[in-house]
Amino acid sequence: MKKQAFNPYLPSWEYTPDCEPYVFGDRVYSYGSHDRFNSLMYCLNDYVCYSAPVDDLSDWRYEGVIYKKTDDPLNKEGLACLYAPDVTQGPDGRYYLYYCLDKRQIVSVAVCDTPAGKYEFYGYVKHKDGTKLGEAPGDEPQFDPAVLTEGDKTYLYGGFCLPNDTTRTGTKAVVLDKDMLTIIEEPVLVLPSAPYAEDPEYKKHAFFEASSIRKVNDTYYFVYSSIVSTELCYATSKHPTKDFVYRGTIVNNNDIGIDTYKKAETPAYYGGNNHGSIIQIKDKWYVFYHRHTNGSNFSRQDCIEEIKILPDGTIPQVEMTSCGANGGPLVGKGLYPAHIACNLFCDIEEARTGWEWMGPEFPKITQDGRDGDEEPGYVCNMKAGATAGYKYFDFKDVTKITLMARGYGSGAFEIMTEMDGEVLATIPVQYTNEWVPYTAPVKIPDGIHPLYIRYTGDGTISLLSFEIE
């Protein structure tokens, strides 16, 4: 790769959650919705796309705006936002983008001749009599469409089911004709909602939202956000529209369920809703998902983790990391941005980001400026006990560390290689309105370890970067 790969994998000032990754030709394309930094609501910006060579997941290229929310005839004034989309290549070789506008219960479709060109409105998914899907008697509201094309047929999935809502039975699938709009096989239930679930294990992880579909050899993998909401779960079947069986959790954006470096039930990041999918890129499999920043639900960023699909078809849950698609640990020396923290927590245990901006008792990843400003991300609101964690590094002969910090605080940063491990260095910091470097000697054991940076003292401090020497 040209450089190391981090999480999040896009620029720190970009907020594109709900990722659906696809390989077309020799590039992988990242499609998703588009949050607005410091917003009070989800998905307020137009769809954009990024792509990278399949052999270099550190080299993401901005493809520009591929579809505007005003391009839909039902949204000429732009008052509705574009929710999570999906893309498939149709039988005619063109690329079809499926999406839902908020406050609408139908599925819209746009089309383009290339994977990341300018998509043009194409139509609405409809029954044979012309009634839009979602508006016919018996239809359930559409949400988060997922699509998979095989031959002349396209399978379309979607739904949104709150844990106690008995009016929605689960996620459903329809089959579309080769025109990519007309339903030729009516809706069938793929996974039930929680009130209608019978399997006790699945009932704890029943379908909530974020439908996604992939085929691995002869097996269909239905990836979804469960009623836990912070986790991406999956079910498998040998048939695209029936007989799906719950298999487990792939990733959780607060690392609940991971017990390798903490207790399984302990959150190590401030999670929130989740959406993504799995994809094979060359000879490796990955899960794409999103994390929450800015102490809110509405500034989300895409991340990647490498996964393993075992011979029995299961996918062991993976932990959040800073090295993502790097193919291994990060080099244990050099300058690193603070916003690549994969763990972030304080003395107050909290599994979720707040609906309002969290107060200064909770650390958060944020940026200066407004939405679209190319300002570097950093960790702020670090009060006593606040900890940022970075995984993993291959350390060798480390003797010094420098932190770039600012803020109204007086105390010290402590350096560790375990969440509550031995303090390897203490770096005093003081009140300052500008970013100031603070350096201290440190002896980090050689080998592959995490790096934890914990603040102790008064006030709040922000962390921009750290340099290991």
**Catalytic residues, which ones?**
18, 209
- Residue 196 φ/ψ, nearest 5 degrees: -110, 10
Cα 325 from Cα 5, distance rounded (Å): 6
Lookup: tokens for 298: 């509405």
Cα 414 from Cα 386, distance rounded (Å): 11
Lookup: tokens for 406: 């600012």
Strand order in the sheet with 300-307: 277-281, 284-292, 300-307
Tokens 């102490």 locate to 295
Reported as type and span, the H/E element at residue 201 is: helix 200-203
Cα 358 from Cα 366, distance rounded (Å): 12
End-to-end CA distance of the chain: give it in Å, rounded: 23
Cα 233 from Cα 249, distance rounded (Å): 4
SS3 200: helix
Cα 132 from Cα 179, distance rounded (Å): 15
Lookup: tokens for 130: 């012309």
What one-character-per-residue DSSP string does 133-147 give? TTTSTTPPPP-S-EE
What one-character-per-residue DSSP string does 252-277 give? ETT-TT--SSS-TT---S-B-----E
Distance of CA 322 to the CA centre of its chain: 13
- Residue 163 φ/ψ, nearest 5 degrees: -55, -35
What letter would DSSP give residue 72?
Answer: S
Do residues 371 and 291 lie in contact, with contact meaning Cβ atoms separated by under 8 Å?
A: no
Neighbouring residues of 316: CB distance < 8 A, sequence distance ≥ 6: 248, 307, 308, 310
What letter would DSSP give residue 213?
Answer: E
Cα 256 from Cα 351, distance rounded (Å): 8
Reported as type and span, the H/E element at residue 202 is: helix 200-203
Half-sphere exposure of 355 (CA within 13 A, CB side): 0
SS3 392: strand
